[in-house]
């Protein structure tokens, strides 16, 4: 079964850091771009970051550039999102997503809350 399972979401203070992880299984991880998509409470969807199969090409949402870093470990079939200098507006559910034919596989998401 194709599966993506996120972890690492938490309550963190403004200015703090958090690292999200996504464990992938059931497919050949090394052949897919991977992404993080977020959704603020009651709001729409927003692509946060993309990474290519080898980890060499990355793209970021403008508002997270310089603060967030996407990475992957193909040996562990895992995707990561390092989030620094967190702001209240980063509060969202963060989904790990496979980029196949469009965004074809989604995890259940992990909640990040930035609040004092």
Residues making contact with other proteins (CB under 8 A): 44-47, 50, 59, 61-62, 95, 99, 101-104, 106-109
- Write down the least CB distance from residue 50 to other proteins, Å: 8
- Write down the least CB distance from residue 18 to other proteins, Å: 20
Helix (H, G, I), strand (E, B) or coil at 29: helix
Q: Which of 14, 100 has the CB closer to other proteins? A: 100
Beta-bridge partners for 102: 100
Rg (C-alpha) for the chain, rounded Å, is 13
How buried is residue 20: exposed, middle or buried, by Cβ count under 10 Å (0-12/13-18/19+)? buried
- Write down the least CB distance from residue 116 to other proteins, Å: 27
């Amino acid at each position: 079964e194709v599966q993506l399972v996120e972890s690492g979401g938490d309550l963190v203070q403004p200015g703090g850091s958090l690292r999200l992880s996504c464990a992938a299984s059931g497919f050949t991880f090394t052949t897919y771009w991977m992404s993080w998509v977020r959704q603020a409470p009651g709001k729409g969807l927003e692509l946060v970051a993309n990474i290519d199969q080898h980890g060499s090409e990355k793209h970021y949402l403008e508002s997270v550039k310089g603060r967030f870093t996407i990475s992957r470990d193909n040996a562990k079939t895992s995707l990561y999102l390092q989030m620094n200098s967190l702001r209240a507006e980063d509060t969202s559910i963060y989904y790990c997503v496979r980029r196949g034919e469009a965004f074809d596989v989604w995890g259940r998401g992990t909640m990040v809350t930035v609040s004092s």
